[in-house]
Structure 1
């Protein structure tokens, strides 16, 4: 029998981390993985522990590296590490650049993986569409990275660190990830749920008409990660990949809101289009970082669901919970 692969999810109590863990744990015998995850809180949320059982939790600190050695000692050397941990709110990165760089550039994690003897684990690292400058549509992976804010700069620095230090990696430049709430609700505002809430109030709301993204449904991101793990196991060769991970639709915030309003039956006239330049958010924001995902589709034969379909699934999940 082939050795069971050990998968470690770094930042397992975050939004994507929880969805990934619960999917991996729920797959039962169909995915031959032993699971562990890191968390930064004193204790992991009990709802997550129950939903992700038998995944083993470890407290670890990306900024200091504290806790990683204990993982190798009691869980074993991981074959696959998925790094979902980040300070991902652009304004928070702008306010504390040192913390953004210390967290978002996983130097301690990479150095720990490099120190493991006799293995070359696959590192799947979540990056962002905000590495792009935002002055055109449908960026390709080989386009120059010219980030306009500290969040994007920290993620470019992370990509450069990983590509210089690792021989087995997949960097995923993700757009806005949306979908159902997690088992242990996350503190940050979820985009579809937030828009739904403000539109449900019946008040006029302003949304940007000139800022474009390719939002991606969280279950598609999970499927992409699992497909990459399976591909690496099947091929048996180190990866050196960078992939745009977005949905198939280039949409503005205004279009996102209108899609939700139409799905819910809200009054679309309450949505007031405004220019992103009319609001000072305390951080520069790229105008158009829509992405070409043809490389993703060709490599993994995964076509992410449309924004409209993902919105309907998200809203239906909210009603059921």
Structure 2
């Protein structure tokens, strides 16, 4: 049986590296041929050493430069997973042109349109920030009314994909939490940031009135792999799915911090409750974009990891920095 060709667009990011790790482990090499794209150069040595068998392609999402070399040197992919994004809301607000040209994957979709139709599945990472944030537990069919540039760019991306792609799965991901990547990212990761802040013993401010459904990164990897496997075994080769990809709980930032404190045994009084409206972050942030994930659980038959277990697994895997 032919191996399934998978291209991970944005392979150097947080989710991208965790996906590469999953493909590199558990006999991935027997089933899949994997390549990934990157924009930053040169690639970190640790990344190249960790995944020596996965060809890396430099691609500019704005212009589409680099996609043709994938077709020539790797071949037409069966599945493309798009994890690439300008995902810091404030950065998107400051540079809306870049946000739109990177987050709306026009060049990627144009490249896919040059292939035999129905042969390639696009799995695209969207965000919970496509929702307005005025109620709890949004469902996939709820209207998408983004309140900031990041969310608007992701809404535009979804519309483009639904319009131009035959086969796709759009995953509206919430905050992704989990262990640091093989080649560590410069940005601070949520659980690690909470942990290091509380560890110092100073009081730290957290929002009590902003709600999300944080998802453990390995659940998101598992969701992606399940979608790929479903695509590979299906005869019709037809998929048009939109799924809320959040964790099983609606949590405020305060509640997230409390779970970390509980797991670590930190003093709960270090967690200071403040309103999100009291801080100017240079970007409008939706208040409650918690998601109903019934469709995700039923469609893919998964059991999502609780936030507490995600915290535990994250901190255990980084036990070299435990107190």
TM bucket (normalised to shorter chain) is over 0.9
Match of 2:277 in 1: 277
Match of 2:245 in 1: 245
* Corresponding position: 1:96 with 2:73: no
For residues 18-37 of structure 1, what are the alpha-carbon distances to aligned partners after superposition, in whole Å with 9 as ceiling and x for unaligned? Answer: 00011111122575100100
Match of 2:37 in 1: 38
Match of 2:216 in 1: 217
**2:17·2:182 contact (CA, 8 Å) conserved in 1?**
yes
Pair 1:248–1:50, CA change in 2 (3 A): same
- Superposed displacement of residue 53, structure 1: 3.0
Structure 1 residue ranges, 4+ long, deviating more than 4 angstroms after superposition:
none
- Superposed displacement of residue 50, structure 1: 2.1
| CA RMSD after TM alignment | 1.1
> For 1:29 and 1:104, how far apart are their aligned partners in 2?
29
TM-score (norm 2): 0.97
- Superposed displacement of residue 52, structure 1: 2.3
> For 1:290 and 1:264, how far apart are their aligned partners in 2?
26
| Aligned counterparts, 1:15-94, within 5 A | 15-28=14-27, 32-94=31-93
Match of 1:8 in 2: 7
Matched pairs, number:
320
- Superposed displacement of residue 117, structure 1: 3.6
> For 1:170 and 1:118, how far apart are their aligned partners in 2?
16
Q: For 1:82, what is the secondary structure of its paired residue?
A: strand
Match of 1:312 in 2: 312
Q: For 2:11, what is the secondary structure of its paired residue?
A: coil
Pair 1:180–1:29, CA change in 2 (3 A): closer
Runs (5+) with no aligned partner, structure 1: none
> For 2:283 and 2:316, how far apart are their aligned partners in 1?
33
> For 1:239 and 1:28, how far apart are their aligned partners in 2?
26
Match of 1:177 in 2: 176
> For 2:244 and 2:223, how far apart are their aligned partners in 1?
11
For residues 31-52 of structure 1, what are the alpha-carbon distances to aligned partners after superposition, in whole Å with 9 as ceiling and x for unaligned? Answer: 5100100000122222122222
Pair 1:30–1:56, CA change in 2 (3 A): closer
> For 1:266 and 1:49, how far apart are their aligned partners in 2?
38
Match of 1:168 in 2: 167
- Superposed displacement of residue 256, structure 1: 0.4
Pair 1:118–1:105, CA change in 2 (3 A): closer
* Corresponding position: 1:129 with 2:109: no
TM-score (norm 1): 0.98
> For 2:145 and 2:307, how far apart are their aligned partners in 1?
27
